[in-house]
Structure 1
């Protein structure tokens, strides 16, 4: 076992935030980073995630979300938490202090969750991202998803290979909280993790930010709630069906219908509510599904509809459909459910 980044060096660096990587404060999220953890490694990914580490790579390099310490060369018999304390004794998380860590549920705790409550998380594969700001009840995040990008200068530095033909100026995007991902014209907000792409002439980054991610705390602090509310009111007409607000582009006929509904639908006229009503009316009332059937249905709903392997984890904006995993979503230009143009995306973590 050896350390790469000593704790003393980590603490010597000036940091305005209490955590080195606040986006990894959740144990479940840290565990998700170990998808490519070497199978031959003698230390298990769950034990590393529980000890505060997320996978960094290459090899078996891991990093603490709290102190930023990096360890590698794990050997048989190593206990992650003890190694954490050995090399980084001043880490507040390793010392047992309260830093906001959220532990993952055990298998027993997960089995105790009501099946109906789990199904409600993904039922219909539709999340409403077009709600008015004053009707949203979800709490705002207390920390930015990418604290290392909190300075505008750092965000601007990511645009060194920004496409020269693009109409948007990097300075405008960086000022509005976005940094460049390095793919096409895709940018991310450092605070809310909202993703935007396909920028057009005349787009205002602040307005687009307020239009699709109205709960972003950085946005609210920078522009004020009145600005966000005004953008929401002018962008979405409550009297119009949601289907008309999915995209500026002309809607194309849906290539995939939810639950393989054989009945054709008119493009651009049927919204989310109409689809949900159609699904309910097409299915005759029957006896309640057994627990095994409910679990099979849950597994099918959580499966990525592109690779049919990993779990869905990306909600498309503006349509709000949840159908792809993090690996497949960046390759899609249109939602496979409604064929609406994808202007952005939001990562989700299903329990």
Structure 2
């Protein structure tokens, strides 16, 4: 968790109602611990929660854990991001966002509670499939065993633990593989199938994707740039994307209702073009016409 980017990745289920942004918390050395709004420092191990509107993460960190080496400015191997991760997520196009969705399954899964504890029983999940559409290619038993319950809408199912949803199932789909492909940090998945299975699915899938737009993350490490790049190259890299980021920022509006901000990423294409209200009515991505298999909700700072 020395990497600010990796800390920020843990905030996937950060409460939307929290008055403190995940970006500020990650910058202050915290990663999301849960439940609720509990966070923990990667260096001193200090835990804070019950955040309020006027709280500043760095100041609160210093107030409650003044001897933390990270807060004291000592070299503890912290890797800062040159550009705020969530700020870029607001602007980059869908193909890049799809790549960034891959989680590092080698990281230790963070302790948490099921999003739907009432669906923890496989029998209870299976009972939700009474009105499962007859045209679907998968048996309810397969989906329930892989942690999913039926939402009652089309062929959309949701994981009782991680809250990940998938739809538009096709012949030959394996619920466990799809679970591992799109929600690799789900603890139910990791405990049921093991890290090696999840890692193999991630590697086999993401190593075969071809992304038309290349995007490079550059971190400042010990005052320099990772990979031996020069500072001049880093600045040049930033300049090349200034205009693109500005243009993409103007495209945050939902392309269906043209009113609300986009907040739903389509799986598997990764395009971020519609709001939460318009997403359920779409079967294909309006950008690339790819069949929508699932939705991932994003939270913009």
TM-score, normalisation: structure 1? 0.51
CA offsets 1:222-248 (integer angstroms, 9 cap, x no match):
100111122223334x2x4535xxxxx
CA offsets 1:279-304 (integer angstroms, 9 cap, x no match):
xxxxxx79x79xxx97x974x34322
* 1:124 equivalent in structure 2: 92
Q: Is the 8 A contact 2:254 2:262 kept in 1?
A: yes
- What secondary structure sits across from 2:172 in the alignment? coil
Alpha-carbon RMSD: 3.9
* 2:15 equivalent in structure 1: 26
1:341 correspondence with 2:282: no
User: Residues 153-168 of structure 1: matches in 2 within 5 Å?
Assistant: 153-168=123-138
Q: Is the 8 A contact 1:27 1:102 kept in 2?
A: no
Unaligned 5+ segments in structure 1 are 1-22, 31-64, 67-99, 110-115, 244-270, 275-284
User: Residues 142-181 of structure 1: matches in 2 within 5 Å?
Assistant: 142-181=112-151
User: Residues 98-247 of structure 1: matches in 2 within 5 Å?
Assistant: 103=51, 105=53, 117=84, 119-126=87-94, 127-129=97-99, 134=104, 140=110, 142-236=112-206, 238=207, 240-243=208-211
Q: Per the alignment, do residues 164 and 214 of structure 1 end up closer, same or farther by CA in structure 2, a change over 3 Å counting?
A: same
- What secondary structure sits across from 1:188 in the alignment? strand
* 2:214 equivalent in structure 1: 273
Q: Per the alignment, do residues 103 and 312 of structure 1 end up closer, same or farther by CA in structure 2, a change over 3 Å counting?
A: farther
Q: Is the 8 A contact 2:109 2:187 kept in 1?
A: no
Q: Is the 8 A contact 2:18 2:51 kept in 1?
A: no
Q: Per the alignment, do residues 24 and 324 of structure 1 end up closer, same or farther by CA in structure 2, a change over 3 Å counting?
A: same
TM-score, normalisation: structure 2? 0.58
Q: Per the alignment, do residues 29 and 331 of structure 1 end up closer, same or farther by CA in structure 2, a change over 3 Å counting?
A: farther
CA offsets 1:166-215 (integer angstroms, 9 cap, x no match):
22111110110111111111111122222211212222111111122222
Unaligned 5+ segments in structure 2 are 1-11, 20-34, 37-47, 58-82, 216-238
CA offsets 1:120-157 (integer angstroms, 9 cap, x no match):
23122431347665477697462222233222222112
- What secondary structure sits across from 2:265 in the alignment? strand
- Whole-angstrom CA distance in 1 between matches of 2:281 and 2:154: 11
Q: Per the alignment, do residues 27 and 207 of structure 1 end up closer, same or farther by CA in structure 2, a change over 3 Å counting?
A: closer
Larger radius of gyration: 1
Aligned length: 213
Q: Per the alignment, do residues 303 and 176 of structure 1 end up closer, same or farther by CA in structure 2, a change over 3 Å counting?
A: same
- Whole-angstrom CA distance in 2 between matches of 1:25 and 1:175: 27
- What secondary structure sits across from 2:90 in the alignment? helix
Q: Is the 8 A contact 2:105 2:195 kept in 1?
A: no
Q: Is the 8 A contact 2:105 2:184 kept in 1?
A: no
Q: Per the alignment, do residues 139 and 304 of structure 1 end up closer, same or farther by CA in structure 2, a change over 3 Å counting?
A: farther
- What secondary structure sits across from 2:115 in the alignment? coil
- Whole-angstrom CA distance in 2 between matches of 1:27 and 1:124: 21
